């Protein structure tokens, strides 16, 4: 197949959508960037900036903004969708009127729909006729991407055609692309890491140092990878760019929205106050709610998520929540069995008798 010239469409003109459009333009593509707001369309097409989300960072001139969804959808074979999870389905439905089965849809949004824990790629599948569907996720803070800091990302899809074509468009001088077949894992990790990011923000905001952060990050990764596995994700994905990689970026960076939200909460703001303070959507709030709601059903213990949920929605004080977290039973690292829990008696008859006798003496 011959590609006349590289073209791509991005749906959503927030910071990440704009950054992705810019990245692909830098890599040599002509990019249409769809957004509803006509003023911002104007701004991007004339001043080549998106001040609302990205301050005065210059956007590559090959990015052309539009508010015409049909025209944007018809422009390219590959469409990246970067819409906050709360509006994702509505826009995907509209997009469903404009796309055909040969087009490739990539979700760039990290979140769930709370009720059924629906992933963004599943929404694309449900609302459009498209089947060539994937997701992009990784340590990609929009501001740093715009400032040309080198980084890498994961494009995930069960269909290799999707990975290949998206990879060709996205990879550039400052972005390496890795492929992954585990779409579920990449999306789940991308979404869940935001919960840990909020917790990390709280932790930093309370003035704790690297020990505390490292504990939070490691144990956070353990619980979100367990949750991912329950949803059918591959455990290895948690250790990749979309899992550990993204976790390090968001938990360590003051640029992360979720991290910032956490720090505001630690400073004593309520969720409403913290959210009113910024125009950017912190996806972790919605994700915390969704994950807490489904953790019990899936049989996954998620203490950190529960703690974040208590701070966000039950107005618990971070200090109290921390005491509770620290006073949990001490456990074996991977099996989650409490250290002092009576072990099931196993082994030969003699071993059994001896174990029972020892136990009665307090061993």
Partner 1 sequence: MQNTLRDAAIVEVRSRVLEACLMQAQLPDGMPLDVLVNDTLYHEKKRLEVDRQSPTWAEDVAFWDGIKNRLGRASEGEVKEILKAVLERFTDEIRGNFSPVLYGVATRVLPRALPVLLNAMSPKRLLQRGVPDIGETIRIEGNIAGLKRMNELGTVILTPTHVSNLDSPVIGWAIYAMGLPPFTYGAGLNLFSNPVMSLFMRNLGAYRVDRQKTAPLYKDVLKEYATVSLELGQPNLFFPAGTRVRSGRVEQRLKLGLLSAGLRAYTNNLSKRKEKPNIYIVPCTLNYHLVLEAETLIEDHLQREGKARYIILDDESTRARKILNFTQNLVNLDARITVHVGDPVDPFGNRVDPESGESLDRHGRTIDIRRYVTDRQGVPVHVPQRDRVYTAEAGEAVAREFLKHNVIVSTQLVAFTLWEMLKHRHKGLDMYRLIRAGDEGAGTSATALVERVMRVWQALRERDTAGLLHLEEGVVESGDAAAIVQTALRHFGTYHARPVIVRRGDRVFSEDMKLLYYYSNRLRGYGLEKELEPVLKKEVA
Tell me the catalytic residues: 193
Q: Is the dihedral of CA 280, 141, 256, 106 positive or negative?
A: positive
Closest CA relative to residue 20, chosen from 83, 102, 95: 83
- Using the structure block, give the residue that is written with the tokens 């969720």: 271
> Minimum Å distance from CB 2 to partner 1?
8
Task: Please report how close the Cβ of residue 293 comes to partner 1 at its closest, in angstroms.
Answer: 17
Cβ 145 to partner 1 shortest distance, Å:
29
- Of 161 and 351, which CB lies nearer to partner 1 in the complex structure? 161
Q: Measured from the CB atom, is 1 or 349 closer to partner 1?
A: 1
CB nearer to partner 1: give 9 or 128. 128
Tokens representing 270 are 């309520």
Cα–Cα distance, 81 to 67 (Å, whole number):
14
* Torsion of the alpha carbons at 268, 220, 114 and 297, rounded to the nearest 10: -120
How many other C-beta atoms lie within 10 A of the C-beta of residue 309? 22
Q: Measured from the CB of residue 102, what is the shortest distance to partner 1 in angstroms?
A: 4
- Beta strand 175-180 pairing with 151-156: parallel
CA angle 202, 222, 194 (to 5 degrees): 40
What is the DSSP secondary-structure string of 301-315? --HHHHHHHHHHHS-
> For partner 1, which is the closer residue by CB, 52 or 131?
131
Binding site for partner 1 (CB under 8 A): 1, 77, 93, 96-97, 100-103, 126-129, 131-132, 158-161
Return the number of the residue (40 or 132) whose C-beta is nearest partner 1.
132
Nearer to partner 1, 129 or 236 (CB): 129
Measured CA angle at 159 (ends 13, 119), to 5 deg: 50
What is the spatial distance between Cα 108 and Cα 190, in angstroms, rounded to a whole number?
Answer: 10
CB of 93 to partner 1, least distance (A): 7
Q: Based on the number of CB atoms within 10 Å of its own CB, is 357 exposed (0-12), middle (13-18) or buried (19 or more)?
A: exposed
d(CA 38, CA 301): 46
Longest alpha-carbon distance in the chain: 84
Q: Residue 322 gets which letter from DSSP?
A: H
Q: Which two tokens stand for residue 321?
A: 């929540």
């Amino acid at each position: 197949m011959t590609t006349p010239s590289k073209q791509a469409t991005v749906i959503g003109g927030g910071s990440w959508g704009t950054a992705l459009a810019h990245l692909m333009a830098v890599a040599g593509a002509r990019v249409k960037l769809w957004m509803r707001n006509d003023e911002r369309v104007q701004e991007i097409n004339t001043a080549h900036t998106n001040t609302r989300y990205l301050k005065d960072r210059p956007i590559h001139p090959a990015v052309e903004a539009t508010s015409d969804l049909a025209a944007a959808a018809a422009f390219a074979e590959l469409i990246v969708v970067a819409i906050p999870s709360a509006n994702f389905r509505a826009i995907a439905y509209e997009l469903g009127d404009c796309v055909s089965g040969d087009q490739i849809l990539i979700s760039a949004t990290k979140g769930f729909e709370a009720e059924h824990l629906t992933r963004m790629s599943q929404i694309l599948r449900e609302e459009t006729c498209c089947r060539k569907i994937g997701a992009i996720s990784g340590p990609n803070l929009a501001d740093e991407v715009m400032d040309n800091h080198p980084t890498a990302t994961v494009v995930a899809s069960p269909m290799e055609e999707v990975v290949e074509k998206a990879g060709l468009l996205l990879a550039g001088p400052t972005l390496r692309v890795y492929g992954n077949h585990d779409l579920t894992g990449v999306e789940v990790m991308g979404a869940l890491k935001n919960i840990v990011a909020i917790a990390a923000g709280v932790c930093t905001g309370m003035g704790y140092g690297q020990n505390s952060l490292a504990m939070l990050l490691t144990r956070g990764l353990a619980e979100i990878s367990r949750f991912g596995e329950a949803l059918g994700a591959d455990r290895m994905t948690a250790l990749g760019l979309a899992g550990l990689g993204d976790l390090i970026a968001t938990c360590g960076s003051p640029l992360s929205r979720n991290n910032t939200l956490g720090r505001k909460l630690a400073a004593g703001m309520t969720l409403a106050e913290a959210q009113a303070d910024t125009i950017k959507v912190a996806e972790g709030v919605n994700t915390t709610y969704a994950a807490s709601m489904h953790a019990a059903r899936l049989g996954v213990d998620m203490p950190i998520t529960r703690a974040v949920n208590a701070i966000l929605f039950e107005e618990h004080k971070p200090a109290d929540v921390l005491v509770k977290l620290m006073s949990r039973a001490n456990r074996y690292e991977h099996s989650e069995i409490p250290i002092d829990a009576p072990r099931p008696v196993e082994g030969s008859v003699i071993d059994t008798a001896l174990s029972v006798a020892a136990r009665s003496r307090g061993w």
